[in-house]
Every structure is written in C-alpha cells, then in structure tokens.
A and B are shown apart, each in its own frame.
Chain A
Amino acid sequence: MSFVTGTAPHWRAQETVASMMRQVIYAMVPAITVYAMFFGIGIVINCLIACIVAVITEAGALLIRRRPVELFLRDYSAVVTAILLAFCLPALTPWWVTATGSFFAIAVAKHLYGGLGFNVFNPAMAGYVALLVSFPEALSQWTAPNIGDLDYQAPTAFMTLQFVLTGALPDGMMIDAITRATPLNAVKTGVGMMRTVDEIRSNPLFGDFAGRGWEWINSFVALGGFWLLYKGVIRWHIPVSLIGAMVAVSSLTYILDSSIHPGPAFQLLSGGTLLCAFFIATDPVSGATTTTGRIIYGAGIGILAFIIRTWGAYPDGIAFSVLLMNMAAPLIDRYTRPRPYGRAPKARH
C-alpha cells in the first residue's frame, strides 16, 4: 500500500476567508432591510450597483495581475467592500458616483496595493473618501426618513430609480425639495449658527437619541455586529475600544457644555460610528492586529471621529479617522508586540 503524504497539522479549520466574508454580508442584511424601510429602495439599488462594479473590477484586476480569478472572486471580499461602501452613500446617489467609488475601492485601494491581504487602507473607506472629496454635492443629497408624520414627501421607488439612473427627477421636480440635512449635519450647522443642541433637536428629524430612522438603522447595525462577535468572526477589542472612546470623549464634552455637545447616545447612533465599530474598523487587513494594538487602534478612531465631527469641516469623521488610523496601524503593531514565551521582559530605560 502506498499513501498520500503532506505536512502537519493534518487537521485544519473549517473556516475560510469566504466563510468569514459571507458572515459579514449576512450580518449586514438586517440593517439594510431597516434602512430600506426608512429611506426607500435606494440603498438596495446602490448595493446592487456597487456589487456589480466591484465584482467586475475585481475580476478585471485579477486577470491583469494573472491571479486565479475564480478562487479570489469566491472569497466575497469585493462584495463586502461594495456593500459597506453603498451603506455610506445617500439613497439618492447617481449610479456613476456609486460605480466610481466601487471601482476606486477595488482597483486603486485594493489591487494597486497588492490585492486581498495587502491593502494599507480600508477599501470601502478609501472609496468613500474619494467620492466625498470628488463629488461632495452628490454625497450631500440625503433624504429624510419616511415615517409618515413628518411634513415631508419621500421619493417613491420609481423616483429613486429614475434619479439614480438619469440624475433627474420626474416633471422637473427639484432635488432640494426632497433632500434634508442629516442629523449630524443639522447639529454641525446649527451649532455653527449659535443655536443650542436642544433647539436643534426640536426639529422633527430628531428622535429620542439621534436622527429618526437612523437610530433604528444603527441599532440593527449593532445587532449584526453582535452576531459577528458571537460567531467569532470579529473580536471584541476594536468595537469596545472604539465605542468606549467615543462615549468617553462625548460624555466629557457633554458634561462640560451640553448646549453645544449632543452627548454620547447621539454620537453613537448617528452617522457611521456603529458601522465602523463592528464592520469597518474590524477589517483585519488594514487594522492593527495585536491585542493591545487593537484597543489603541479602536480608541484612536473613536477619538479622531469625535474631533472631526466636533471641530472639523466634515459632519461625520468616521471615514477619515479610519484612514488615518490605517496609516498608524503598522506602527501601533510594532510597539505593542507581545513578549514571546521565555523572553525576559525588556528593561525600561
């Protein structure tokens, strides 16, 4: 008899990159559903456009780089990037904007750096920031949630589709008629106009904790995040330190002056804080990898995002803080390496 040989160990994990990525996609489904309930079909259209462009770009890049196309397409990482990018875009985003962002994320932020595992920046955030600085107008056309009791006529599915595909609304309807400020934006401009947070929050856009609709969407984002934690796809360090840092700094400023600082609950449930904490900052490729490093990395994003939101030019600072901490990640890892077994602790000078 002669047998098949190979190297030890002979048992390996059932888990694959693809299974991890699939879990991330499943975890996003509840939040996307709730998003569509509040803001209409736009998110789904954006996701589809982003996914199609991402997969085509990924396949093209793999062909050019002479890598096994099928193997890498099956890892679903391009789809995850596309969904996370689409989740950050307004429901009314022209298709070519979404497509450009998705292309940039996969072609530039991912494959120009060497593809899966080698990208320095989180591709979804790089794609989003590229759009934010290139097409600020297109990315500011947010609609209000369709709750019924607002003095607001939400765009229908047909209107949304038409706008996404042609960039125009039916019957010469003005885009300004259906767009509203996001809660984060309302607070930023309101505070800039010397109004107090309480005055700003009397606007019907606001709910109990943050923007109406948004507080629910973000709660379902967190739910998906808990599921990822439970399944072991992500570890607790980054979500806890990111949320903890955000809560700590926003509580502190809230205590110091609650008239110009909206407080921790608002910060958590607005914009991309929770999406980042569970889905973006936990991207292992572009983040810190040591245990201590992850805590520093998460806290850094939380603090930077708060600083940008409060004193910066952008209403949400998540994407920029992620990219900034991406740059810092290798350095953080370098200085937070665990001491190998048996090595004497380094003497401090």
Chain B
Amino acid sequence: MTSPGSYNPQPPRPPWGIRPPPRKTESTRLPILTAPIPDQVVIPIQQCLDMTANAIVHPGQRVLTGEPIAQAVAQAESWAGPTVHASISGEIIAIEERPVPGPSPIAETCVVIHGDGRDERYPGYQDLGDPLQLEPERICELVAEGGIVGLGGALFSTAAKLRADKRIHALILNGAECEPYITCDEMLELENAETVLRGTRIMLRALGAPVAIIAVESEMPEDRVALNDAIEAAGDDDIHVAVVTAKYPAGGERQLIQMIMGQEVPEGGYPSDIGYVCHNVATAAAVADLFDRGRPLISRIVTLAGGGIETTRNVDARIGTRMGDLIESTVGYRIETTQLVMGGPMMGFLLPDDNLPVTKATNCLIVAEPGELSPPRPEMPCIRCSECSEVCPAQLLPQELLTAAKRKDMAALDELGLNACIECGCCDYVCPSHIPMTARFIAAKSNFREHHLAMETATRAQTRFENRQARLEQEARARDRELRDQVDELAESKPRIIDDLMARVKSRQDDT
C-alpha cells in the first residue's frame, strides 16, 4: 500500500491494452493554427454532462464574444452549472433545435449567431483578480461562470470536480492522449506548457491539494521536456511529470490512477473517494485563460486528421463553427470523403454529415479516406479465445459478459463487473470473430441501470405496501382490542344490571 500522494513517475508497462497504429506524427509537425472566425456559429446550449441548460438570450439580441447565452442548472445543488458563451460577436438569429454531434443523431436547442466580423469582446471577465489569492469557493464559481467543462471529451463540470468535499492527496492532470490521431493535448503541452502549469496551480488552490502530477505518454518526449522546463523555470516543486507507456487506453482516468498512484478507484466510486481528482491538461489551460486573459471557454483545439484532408494539423476553433466550414477554411478536403469521426478511432463516433457544430467535446475530427477505418465484417460466434480478457484494462472477461448480456442475466453482469467497463473498445479491436462487444456492453449498461431503477421502484413500492399492511393490521388490532374491552365491560356490568332489576322486582313484589 502506497502512502497517500506518493506516485510513480515512470509506471511499468501495463499488462492490458493494445497498441494500435498511433498516426500522431503528421499532426504534430505544424504549429496550432487559429482558425478564421466563422460568419455564423451554432452553439448547442447543452454542453455539460448531467445538467440542463436554459438559454438566457433572445433572437434579435446582439451579443459580444464571450457573453453568456445559456446557463446550466445543477440539479440538487445550490451552485450554478457552467455557463455557455457566445463564441463570436453578432446578432442572435435563432434559438431552435438543430442536429448536434453525438453517438446518435439528435437535435438539441442551439443558439445561432450571425457574426458581425468584429469579434468584439465581452468585458465581463476582465479583472477577476489574482486567482491564487481568491477563496477556493470563489475560484469554483468563476470556473463555472467561465463555462469550463472537461475538455477530454467527457464535458463534466470542472467546477463540480474542483469542489472537493473530500481530502484530495493529489491532482492528476491527464495529458496522456492514448487514442490514435489525437494530438490536441500534446500540441498544447508543447506550445503552452506555462499556461497548463498556471491552470494547474489555480486548480491546486481550488482543491487544496498538495501536489499535482501531469501525466504524459512515453511517445511524447518533447512534451516532457517542455513541461519540465516550465516547471523548473517557475520553480514549482509541487508539480511533477509522470510518464506512462504509450499504450491504449493508458489515458483512461481510472487506468491512469492505477498506474501512477498504484491504487484502484473502488467499484461504483469516484477518484475523489481515494483522494484523487483528474482533469485534462486542456481544461487546466482553459482555467488559466479565464483568469489571466479574461477569456471564457469559447474555443478549443481540434485535431484535424485523416486521409481525406490536405493537411493534418491542430486548429484552434471557435465553439459552434460548422465542421465542414472549419475543415474547408483551415486544412481543406482532399477527396469526397465518406466517413467522419468525432474523437478517435477507438471511442469516437461516426457523424452522419459535416453540417454539425464543433462543441466543447470536439477534440478531433478524422476525415477518413476509403479503407482508413475498418470495413464492417460478418460477426462470427465467439470462439472463447480470450484475447479480449487479455487486453481489457478493467480485468474483465468480455466473452463471459457477452453471454450474460445475451441472457439478460443482471446478477451475472453485476458479478462479472459490467460497470467497471470503460467502453474503450479494446475487446472489439482484438476479437477475431468481429463481435461488436463494446456496443453490446453500452446497451447492457443502460439495461442494467433501467433494471436497477425498476428494482428500486419495486422495492420502494413493496416497502410502502408492507408499511400500509402493517399500519392497517395495527389499526385492526387496536379496534379489536377496543371492541373486546367494551364487551368485557358489558359482560362485567351485566350481572350488576340483573341484580338491580331483580332487586327492583323484588321490592315491587314486596310493595304489593
């Protein structure tokens, strides 16, 4: 057992995981390009996990770059969720349902802004004060107001994760981008190591944590140097760099904690349960930008990759930019593509078209050329080769989970640890029978949740019923007792009445 906060700067190669072709060299050759400001943006207002946001603007209204346009509400919490901001200045021409990128094509409320080309800044976030002098709670409030969410793709509210109600031993900054193609964090660390460090320091203050560990991959030696140089230059002795093996999915939050801290996040729990909080390096940079440049989260770095475009590189894109426009205005389509992935080839999702907005979750767009992604293959029966369990980062037995999922055996799914599945897709990647396991596990997980919800409802209903039965019985018993008492009373009083009557009769007889 390691002591809290002690970490391994060079964890050994994990036994799990896979080594897909990294395809990262091309996109790291050119510096990050700031994309031209688009004429129009479509900003989905739902950009934070588990929270519902409401638009706070109306069509026709003029907004400035960085002006709040929607506010997320954290249910069951007193504090506010992350704000959504206008990413260009101009006029709001519509607030309506538009298709948004996601695992399945859905439409959500979006604020459509027609730009005036001036990119006038909203002044509301200037002079927030020195964050290192602010109270932790105030930092959290401002981070939410700045619209900052997890930029690794999860979109979890950063402020919620910084509001630690538990003692935090270490902040882990995830810069280990393990998915093929994606290099937005790698390029950020390389070009803006100081910004990452500055954000890290602000996060440390908010969390009240003693140390921060920035995790990078072994295939990013330049990043390690850049970060170490920046740490040395700033004289930070509470920020360290750990290098994990470049293996997919080494950048998974739970896997990272396991490797660097030597501890596992308990089943069904959160990293904070064992004293750790994980944030993406880009999220830290966004925090620094908010306080130092008065700039809320209105843009993000997107890796544009794949054989379908002319140049592969990272671009800084405004949130809400139409994907097709972003590609055309920066790197250019090379061919008529047929497939577009948002995210990486392992966990990303295929988009139905490029007429969708860039969101805070858009870390990478792969414009695939024919043959770049695996073609669909016929599914064969599982031959129990167990390659899937060899690579599973959660030490699960995917082939057994598969049969349990087929049987819809909830108890077995639970026993086999379905909920520890991080949906990384390693099992699919190695399966010689080409079984879409990850897709089935995602479905099984949602079934599992529904099942448990139903079970809970049923249990509650049963408890309610049993309580009612008990109450009724008690009442019945009480009534019984009362009745018996009356009868007893009557029975007791009966001889007396008869005696009285007899006495009266007697006295009358005597009278006559």
Contact = CB atoms under 8 A, between A and B. Distances in A.
B254 interface: yes
9 contacts: A8-B347, A8-B349, A8-B425, A9-B346, A9-B425, A9-B438, A116-B380, A116-B383, A341-B420
A115 B258 CA distance: 40
A253 B420 CA distance: 47
Interface in B328-361: 336-341, 343, 345-355
A342 B420 contact: yes
B381 A115 contact: yes
Interface in A1-40: 1-13, 15-17, 19-20
Interface in B427-447: 428-434, 436, 438-439
A343 B417 contact: yes
A10 B342 CA distance: 11
Interface string B390-416: 100111110110000000000000001
A117 interface: yes
A136 interface: no
A17 B383 contact: yes
9 residue pairs, one from A and one from B, having the closest CB atoms:
A340-B417, A9-B425, A117-B381, A341-B394, A7-B439, A342-B267, A5-B350, A12-B374, A10-B373
Contact of A17 (B380, B399, B430): B380
A290 B389 contact: yes
Nearest to B442: A7
A143 interface: no
B interface, size bucket: 35 or more
A8 B348 contact: yes
Contacts of A6: 350, 376
A13 B429 contact: yes
Contact of A285 (B350, B354, B384, B432): B384
| A: contact size bracket | 35 or more
Interface of B: 20, 103, 180, 254, 258, 264-269, 324, 336-341, 343, 345-355, 368, 373-374, 376-378, 380-386, 389-390, 393-397, 399-400, 416-417, 420, 423, 425, 428-434, 436, 438-439
Given A1-B336, A8-B348, A13-B429, A289 B434 contact: no
Max chain B C-beta neighbours (<10 A), residue from A8, A19, A235, A340: A8
Interface of A: 1-13, 15-17, 19-20, 68, 71, 75, 115-118, 235, 284-285, 287, 289-290, 333, 337-344
Given A1-B336, A3-B339, A4-B350, A13 B432 contact: yes
B351 A3 contact: yes
A10 B430 contact: no
A341 B265 CA distance: 8
A208 B324 CA distance: 74
Interface of B, secondary structure class, is loop
Contacts of A337: 397, 400, 416
A11 B350 CA distance: 12
B38 to A, nearest CB: 18
A343 B428 contact: no
Given A8-B347, A9-B428, A11-B180, A341 B381 contact: no
A71 B377 CA distance: 11
A4 B385 CA distance: 31
A342 B353 CA distance: 39
A338 B376 CA distance: 31
B416 A340 contact: yes
Given A10-B348, A285-B384, A3 B337 contact: yes
Given A12-B374, A16-B432, A116-B383, A339 B350 contact: no
B250 to A, nearest CB: 14
Contacts of A290: 386, 389, 397
B180 A118 contact: no
Given A3-B350, A12-B374, A344-B266, A20 B432 contact: yes
Contacts of A115: 381
A71 B389 CA distance: 26
Given A9-B438, A12-B377, A15-B430, A289 B389 contact: yes
Nearest to A233: B385
A289 B394 contact: no
Contact of B338 (A3, A10, A75): A3
A343 B386 contact: no
B383 A342 contact: no
Contacts of A344: 266-267
Nearest to B428: A9
A1 B324 CA distance: 9
Nearest to A7: B439
A2 B376 contact: no
B394 A1 contact: no
A289 B265 CA distance: 26
B377 A285 contact: no
Most A CB atoms within 10 A — which of B340, B377, B380, B428?
B380
A70 B430 CA distance: 23
A342 B345 contact: no
A13 to B, nearest CB: 5
Contact of A15 (B347, B373, B432): B432
